[in-house]
Structure 1
Amino acid sequence: MEKNVALIALFAALIAALGLIPKITLAFGVPITAQSMGVMLCGAVLGSRKGALSVLLFLLLVAIGLPLLSGGRGGLGLFVSPSAGFLIGWPAAAFVTGWIVEHWRLAPLTLVACVASVIGGIVVLYLFGIIGLLITLDKTLSEVIWLVAAFVPGDLLKAIIAGMLTAALAKARPGSVLSRANRTDAV
């Protein structure tokens, strides 16, 4: 149990550390950050439940005001900003990514983690992000989809990196990728 809590906290810290990489804020107020790759890694490495818990811990720390998001941002106000949909979608993205890695075992881990990161960390996350942008911006659905399309190239690169890192971690430390370990050790 203590190991699980430590890993959940460690991956929340990883997301925070990725916030130190400078952000690029787009004209409509949503930044491009490396932190979404941390969300992908949470799911791919920790699995669905532990990955989502790690992201929820990170978001709790942001909500109470710790400046952990890229650019030193934090506080409840972020959850009503144009970024809100993406932030709210992070736990779902980690969960879906982890679920796919846990259940798709017939392909190489690199491929599985890359595809899982695309489905969870891009498709699922963008659904939340688009809804958030529709609520916070005065734009149509097609306009919002075009705005979000600016994230696709970078997020595809992050998904590939997350898949490669997950596979490298599994090769270097067999058993350390909990999403592929025995699924009876639940939180």
Structure 2
Amino acid sequence: MMRAKDLALVALFTALMVVLGLAPRIQLPLLPAPFTTQTLGVMLAGGIIGAKRGFASMALFVLLVAVGAPVLVGGLGGFGMLLGPTGGFIWAYPLGALVTGLLVEAWWKRLNYVWAFIACFIGGSLVLYAIGQPWLIANSGLTLSRGWWSWVIYLPGDLVKTVVAAAVIVTVKKAYPLIAPRRVTA
């Protein structure tokens, strides 16, 4: 059961995702998936509020998309977005936040920019690619070879978002940590 503080943090990071959706839609040529800043929100949620709350905030965001709230880049929303070419990435948001959070929590005592970057890249990029790319290929009409390698086009932007997320996570950890180190019980 979540406390009021936990619920407030979940709502706050869901709202952050909505705000990140206000960025202009950057449609890349020949690909059905736009470049979006919302994957930054996935990394920040897991890395700042932890695995459980980060997962919950992204699950709430997916629910908002499903019920038609215009929370995606370009003011889009609706269950059709979850079934379309980019749906796999959106479905992966909770898992990406969960993985990022689990890694940050596991490395909490030694967390620095490098460890935060690795956690964000694994959770916020690799997990999203692992789920989103096959979905994109299956639902977009791209050939297997073209669809499989299309992630390379997004990689430079994702690396920039990962650097930003890592810096923010470490800064928040130093200033106002919202994650407690895991206690090891014998």
1:131 and 2:146 aligned: no
Task: Indicate which of 78, 102, 105 corresponds to 2:105.
Answer: 102
RMSD: 1.4
Per-residue Cα deviation, 1:75-100 (whole angstroms, up to 9, x for no partner) = 01101111111111111111111111
**Inter-CA distance 164–96: structure 2 relative to 1 (3 Å threshold):** same
Shift of 1:126: 0.2
Letter in 2 for 1:97: T
Three-state SS of the structure 2 residue aligned to 1:72 is coil
Per-residue Cα deviation, 1:33-72 (whole angstroms, up to 9, x for no partner) = 1110000101111111111110000110111111011100
Counterpart residue number, 2:4: 2
Q: Does the Cα contact within 8 Å between 1:11 and 1:38 map onto a contact in 2?
A: yes
Counterpart residue number, 1:78: 81
Query: Runs in 1 of length 4+ with deviation above 3 angstroms?
Result: 105-108
1:52 and 2:52 aligned: no
Per-residue Cα deviation, 1:1-21 (whole angstroms, up to 9, x for no partner) = 000000000000001101111
Counterpart residue number, 1:14: 16
Q: Does the Cα contact within 8 Å between 1:18 and 1:35 map onto a contact in 2?
A: yes
Counterpart residue number, 2:159: 156
Three-state SS of the structure 2 residue aligned to 1:82 is coil
Counterpart residue number, 1:122: 125
Gaps of 5+ in 1: none
Shift of 1:28: 2.2
- The 1-side partners of 2:52 and 2:144 are apart by 31
Letter in 1 for 2:162: A
Counterpart residue number, 1:66: 69
Aligned length: 180
- The 2-side partners of 1:31 and 1:133 are apart by 12
Shift of 1:134: 2.0
TM-score by length of 1: 0.91
Shift of 1:138: 2.5
Three-state SS of the structure 2 residue aligned to 1:139 is coil
- The 1-side partners of 2:122 and 2:112 are apart by 15
